[in-house]
Amino acid sequence: MYEGAVQDLIDELGRLPGVGPKGAQRIAFHLLQADPQDVERLSDVLLAVKEKVRYCERCFNVAESQLCRVCADQRRDQSAICVVEEPKDVVAIERTREFRGTYHVLGGAISPIDGIGPGDLRFTELMTRLASGEVTEVIIATDPNLEGEATAAYLSRFLKGMDLKVTRLASGLPVGGDLEYADEVTLGRAFEGRTLVHV
């Protein structure tokens, strides 16, 4: 509907996840009115991200050199590996400042409906890391949904018989939430995993 360049931009923006036709139009007109330098900067960072960013050779987190920031940090505890689905999960856990070990990013979760099997995820690479014998604990931190649970189940079978402490992040009530608004599965899990206060 628009002339050449504007329509091209709207089309390209509309291909991004979470950006609908209205959103693409809104962003395009925002950029039309923006400072040329701002638009150039956006264009530059787009190219930079493809040039510079690769995956950490050890844990497959996003990185700008061979190792990601966590793996390159000598102070991190190499004996604990937290297994997550995506690099954004690493960021979420780092934000808590609870964990001082390293990560392993699987690159997704097992999902037969999307045709993603264990072979599409980085289990072999995890096995190689565990073979070094340095690791004593594996923390399974896949998403608490169907695919994440399937991946966690596969992983725990995969790790069985190895001389490792294997843990899974606790399920329960979200802090700051209302008990009455919790769904039954979450509330059920919170009961199941109830902790002892005193006897």
Binders of a copy of itself among residues 93 to 122 (CB under 8 A) are 94-95
Secondary structure letter of residue 66 according to DSSP: S
Q: What is residue 143's three-state secondary structure?
A: coil
User: Which string of x and - marks every residue 69-88 that binds a copy of itself (by CB under 8 A)?
Assistant: x----------------xxx
Phi-psi category of residue 194: left, alpha or beta, with phi > 0 → left and psi -120 to 50 → alpha? beta
Binders of a copy of itself among residues 2 to 31 (CB under 8 A) are 2-6, 8-9, 12-13, 15-19, 23, 25-31
CA dist 133 and 180 (Å) reads: 46
CA dist 89 and 111 (Å) reads: 18
Cβ atoms of 157 and 130 closer than 8 Å: no
Per CB under 8 A, does 146 bind a copy of itself? no
Binding residue for a copy of itself (CB under 8 A) from 21, 53, 79, 165?
53
| Pure H helices in 17-169 | 21-33, 36-52, 69-72, 87-96, 123-131, 146-159
Number of residues located near a copy of itself, criterion CB under 8 A: 52
Per CB under 8 A, does 160 bind a copy of itself? no
CB of 91 to a copy of itself, least distance (A): 5
Per CB under 8 A, does 131 bind a copy of itself? no
Binding site for a copy of itself (CB under 8 A): 1-6, 8-9, 12-13, 15-19, 23, 25-32, 36, 38-53, 62-64, 68-69, 86-88, 91, 94-95
